[in-house]
Structure 1
Amino acid sequence: MFGPRLRFGAFIAPFHPVDENPTLALERDLELVEHMERLDYDEAWFGEHHSAGYELIASPELFIAAAAQRTKRIRLGTGVSSLPYHHPLMLADRINQLDHMTRGRVMFGVGPGALVSDAFMMGIPVAKQRDRMDEALEVLIRLMRGEEVTHKSDWFELWQARLQMTPYSRPSVEIAVASQVSPTGARAAGRHGAGLLSLGATGTAAFNALASNWNIACEQAAEHGQTMDRSAWRLVGPMHIAETREQAMADARFGLEKWIYYFKEIANLPIVPEGPDPVQALIDSGTAVIGTPDDAAARIQQLVDQSGGFGCFLLMDHNWAPWEAKKRSYELIARYVFPKFQQLNENRQASMDWVGANKGEFTGQTMAAMGARIAQHIAEKGAENIRPEFAALVAGAAAPKKD
């Protein structure tokens, strides 16, 4: 019996340096999703950001609509919709519409909002973002299931609110809650029985918190009559893969400094380790894999062991490498890492081993069959045109068979 099939995808914030044409950058993001579908990736998630210049997708719903027209199978998610920024009915209606337009391929990732600057521009107190996310999620769950909701809050109101269309996906679209080191996301996921989207899972603090956050989610689920599903747990981490470690490191130096500058000086998110050589620091800390397919597989196995098992690994998309090298990295992962976690070659290997173990028997039968046909020809037409080296085959075919 085969075990669970680990899924693969990408978490596309995206991260585009400010010296590039933003129109073309967004176009490459769409091309990446098409490339991923050709390579049999399962999922792609798109962020929502409104400031700081790098993460250009303001509306993941618009991006999903465009990507859905270019693809047929890959699932597409909001990664994530920042709930305090939206009236719940408007957001639920847009996601429900996408559920129909994509024939059930849309996934709904939610969070409080990552950039303080976004909340600041909208006059949202940072201290209230997580409380507002919790409150919005309570009503969104019900709306997405087609229920009627009345709810009065200090920042939104719903009066006999109901989606016009019955959800395409039943009971609703899949919902996942973003989580990092703190238990906020895990508690929300558990309370509602939603999926868990563990961002930055390869960083030291987040890696160490994987098992504890899962346990927190399960405890909350039990308290609220819900269950957690490991197949709905997604772990996110950055990788760049090439044929050799040296080539991967050389590729990454193309754009890594700009990515580090954004996280250290602009977004101020603590995911970049310190070190004189940033490439080596990312590798040594385990924050990123910059190496070969074997290196990628080893790190994913560490995540499986540390977490106790999860359903999907999402590459944190970046632009460390030139475009062609980046696409090659996605291809190498699909070719050589997928099979290790999806049991793609177990039957092939078993078949090859079986044939190899019986090679002598099969070769003997083949030679005997060929000899019998040559002997038949000689009996009918004579040996005039038979090459001398075939005589052994004839002798072998005529030899008495042993019991």
Structure 2
Amino acid sequence: MQCGIFMTPYNPPSRTPRQVFDWAVDIARIADEAGYADFMIGEHYTLGWENIPMPEAIIAACAQTTKQIRFAPMAHLLPYHDPATLAVRIGWLSQVMEGRYFLGVAPGGHHTDAILHGFDGIAELPPRQLEALALMERVWEGKPFLEKGKYFQAGFPGPDTMPEYNVEIANNGPYGGRAALELAVTGLSQKSSSMKFAGERDYSPISFFGGTPQMKAHWDTWAEAMESKGHTPDRKRYRVCRDVFIADTDAEAQRLVRKTGMMNTWHLYLKEIYVKFGLFDGIIHDSGVDITPDGIDEQFLIDHVILCGSPETVIEKLEKLADQVGGWGQIVANQHDSIEDPKPWEESLRRLATEVCPKVRMPN
């Protein structure tokens, strides 16, 4: 089983952009040294707790300090970008990274980001994403065209559109060609339309954990959509995002995790969101605990939301989950702010890659 990092980034609004940037670059270096496969970076424009509006800047910086780990914006919010410009920037950066790059796409799921870009809400964004994707694919194809769509326009120059002199066109397509560029999509709610969208286009699925019913639904939706278009679903492509904290013993892990930025994020930010949108429901179902979402406390988070414990305990929890849902290819650790006391957090990240992931048994 591979392991990855998701840098949402879940840093408190009090952090400066420089602090968030430096923290992300430092975690990427640690993850690369530890053997992580992927490092994914969110794109948000107005969220104080998730403030990285330019993930490609972090990816470019990490190109200088890492050697093996792959990077992805997860995800570029396509309705907010000019598709031709974004297609060239993606292709160019993938060449800078010499293949250590893959791409996440999304329509945008936050109301305040939509308002910033002049929309009343997020309902009108999905068709814009589809048109943007279609134009980006044409740009990557590199054949002459001019197209004005309903929302965007794009083109690619050719012999008939040159000025009075010949211009040599730069090769800013994806590294290794379009077929070599992996695209991925995230899903959160149990009835996620993103999983169907991904499967129909042969994009990889990334599931934010919400209990076993949600995980099964995500896989089934993606797999059925893949097969409907003649593609073969492969569980090695399935990524699952979890909160993880590892220490020498279960008691030590429970003691230390209460002091981390992860717990601070749950108290001050994530719990309210999960309660409002019913995202705890599947987790409560799995737990067997008679509790309402509002009543969830630190101990419930430690026992049922966070993969918390010694390496042996975390392995056991992952194998139990895999037996219930059928397995996956990569566990993705959600990144949280621990700038004031980074050592326990960094140690946990290293142990996930070196002591847990290589030993987890997957079904079949």
Q: Distance in 1 between matches of 2:105 and 2:15?
A: 29
Q: Distance in 2 between matches of 1:148 and 1:306?
A: 50
| Number of the residue aligned with 1:307 | 325
Q: Distance in 2 between matches of 1:336 and 1:297?
A: 9
Residue identity opposite 1:180 in structure 2: L
Q: Distance in 1 between matches of 2:255 and 2:142?
A: 52
| Number of the residue aligned with 2:234 | 229
| Number of the residue aligned with 1:168 | 175
Tell which deviates more after alignment, 248-257 or 25-34. Answer: 248-257
Q: For 1:271-292, what per-residue CA distance to the aligned partner results, in whole angstroms no more than 9, with x for missing partners?
A: 56846573212134x2222222
**Which aligned pairs between 1:189-228 and structure 2 lie closer than 5 A?**
189-198=198-207, 200-201=208-209, 203-204=210-211, 207-228=212-233
**Which aligned pairs between 1:44-193 and structure 2 lie closer than 5 A?**
44-124=39-119, 125-146=121-142, 151-160=147-156, 164-170=171-177, 171-181=179-189, 182-193=191-202
* Residue 266 of structure 1, CA deviation: 7.5
Listed as ranges, the gaps of 5+ residues in structure 1 are 1-5, 344-403
Q: Distance in 2 between matches of 1:13 and 1:44?
A: 11
Tell which deviates more after alignment, 37-46 or 286-295. Answer: 286-295
Shift of the 224–139 alpha-carbon distance from structure 1 to 2, 3 Å rule, reads farther
Of the three residues 343, 348, 351, the one matched with 1:324 is: 343
The answer (yes or no) to whether the contact 2:109–2:122 under 8 Å persists in 1 is no
Secondary structure (helix, strand or coil) at the match of 2:102 reads strand
| Number of the residue aligned with 2:25 | 30
Alpha-carbon RMSD = 2.7
Secondary structure (helix, strand or coil) at the match of 2:184 reads strand
| Number of the residue aligned with 2:298 | 279
Secondary structure (helix, strand or coil) at the match of 2:12 reads coil
Q: For 1:16-42, what per-residue CA distance to the aligned partner results, in whole angstroms no more than 9, with x for missing partners?
A: 113344422321211111011111111
Q: For 1:194-251, what per-residue CA distance to the aligned partner results, in whole angstroms no more than 9, with x for missing partners?
A: 11111x22x22xx312223222223222333333332222111111111122222222
Tell which deviates more after alignment, 109-118 or 257-266. Answer: 257-266
Residue identity opposite 2:270 in structure 1: F
Q: Distance in 2 between matches of 1:280 and 1:218?
A: 35
Tell which deviates more after alignment, 80-89 or 298-307. Answer: 298-307
Shift of the 44–243 alpha-carbon distance from structure 1 to 2, 3 Å rule, reads same
- Is 1:246 the equivalent of 2:265? no
Q: Distance in 1 between matches of 2:246 and 2:63?
A: 27
Secondary structure (helix, strand or coil) at the match of 1:238 reads strand
Residue identity opposite 1:340 in structure 2: K
| Number of the residue aligned with 1:296 | 314
| Structure with more contact order per residue of length (Cα contacts < 8 Å, sep ≥ 6) | 2
Aligned residues: 333
Q: For 1:297-316, what per-residue CA distance to the aligned partner results, in whole angstroms no more than 9, with x for missing partners?
A: 12322342233232211101
Tell which deviates more after alignment, 92-101 or 51-60. Answer: 51-60
Shift of the 260–79 alpha-carbon distance from structure 1 to 2, 3 Å rule, reads farther
Of the three residues 4, 7, 19, the one matched with 1:12 is: 7
| Number of the residue aligned with 1:337 | 356
Identity of aligned residues (%): 29
Secondary structure (helix, strand or coil) at the match of 2:323 reads helix
Q: Distance in 1 between matches of 2:146 and 2:214?
A: 37
Q: For 1:331-351, what per-residue CA distance to the aligned partner results, in whole angstroms no more than 9, with x for missing partners?
A: 2212320221389xxxxxxxx
Question: Rg: which structure is higher?
Answer: 1
Q: Distance in 2 between matches of 1:271 and 1:326?
A: 25
Shift of the 292–320 alpha-carbon distance from structure 1 to 2, 3 Å rule, reads farther
Tell which deviates more after alignment, 240-249 or 156-165. Answer: 156-165
TM-score (norm 2): 0.82
The answer (yes or no) to whether the contact 1:7–1:312 under 8 Å persists in 2 is yes
The answer (yes or no) to whether the contact 1:107–1:174 under 8 Å persists in 2 is yes
Q: For 1:93-128, what per-residue CA distance to the aligned partner results, in whole angstroms no more than 9, with x for missing partners?
A: 111011110000001011122322111111233112
Q: Distance in 1 between matches of 2:157 and 2:202?
A: 23
The answer (yes or no) to whether the contact 1:238–1:288 under 8 Å persists in 2 is yes
